[in-house]
Structure 1
Amino acid sequence: MLPKEKMARINELAKLAKERKLTAEEAKEQSSLRAEYLQTFRSSIKRTIENVRVIDAAGEDVTPEKIKEIQEKKRLH
């Protein structure tokens, strides 16, 4: 996750954008911060999904094969 300061700045810029047009510098900063946030978010979700195991009601492992393959590769390296 992004540091609190960066999240606060993202929110501050979003609020400013609703009140007035952002300057070119502010718009560039907002775009950069949003890209960084999305990259961090996607990375976090990817790690979560790659570490999940799906067990059905009968107790059988029904984790998709693609995820099992990724998990195996990571265990080998």
Structure 2
Amino acid sequence: MEKKKIDRISELAKKSREEGLSEAERLEQKALRQEYVDAHRQSLTSQLERVVLVEKDGRKIPLKKKES
């Protein structure tokens, strides 16, 4: 996520605490926060997909997504 968007999230949070937000600003804040969460979720998923467990006998076993 771009630094500019993260800074905007911080600005809106500060304004919310100090004086409140308009409806448009609340919607913007909600959308930016969701984008932030989605970016982190995607990053974590990507990292976990690259994890490989190494057994004592040297076998390499990639992590698999747990089926629900």
> What TM-score bracket applies, with the shorter chain setting the length?
0.7 to 0.9
Give yes or no for the alignment of 1:55 onto 2:46. Answer: no
Give distance in 2, aligned partners of 1:60 and 1:18.
Answer: 53
Deviation track 1:17-46 (CA, whole Å, cap 9, x = no partner) reads: 111221101100000000111111100100
Which residue of 2 is the match for residue 71 of structure 1?
none
Which residue of 2 is the match for residue 41 of structure 1?
40
Give distance in 2, aligned partners of 1:12 and 1:55.
Answer: 45
- Secondary structure of the residue that 1:54 maps to in structure 2? strand
Q: In percent, how many aligned pairs have the same letter? A: 36
Amino acid at match of 2:52: R
- Flag structure 2 segments of 5+ consecutive residues without an equivalent: none
Give 1 or 2: higher helix fraction. 1
Give distance in 2, aligned partners of 1:47 and 1:53.
Answer: 13
Cα RMSD of the aligned pairs, angstroms, is: 1.7
- Secondary structure of the residue that 1:31 maps to in structure 2? helix
Contact 2:5 / 2:32 at 8 angstroms: preserved in 1? Answer: yes
Which residue of 2 is the match for residue 72 of structure 1?
none
Give distance in 2, aligned partners of 1:9 and 1:54.
Answer: 39
Count of aligned positions: 64
- Flag structure 1 segments of 5+ consecutive residues without an equivalent: 68-77
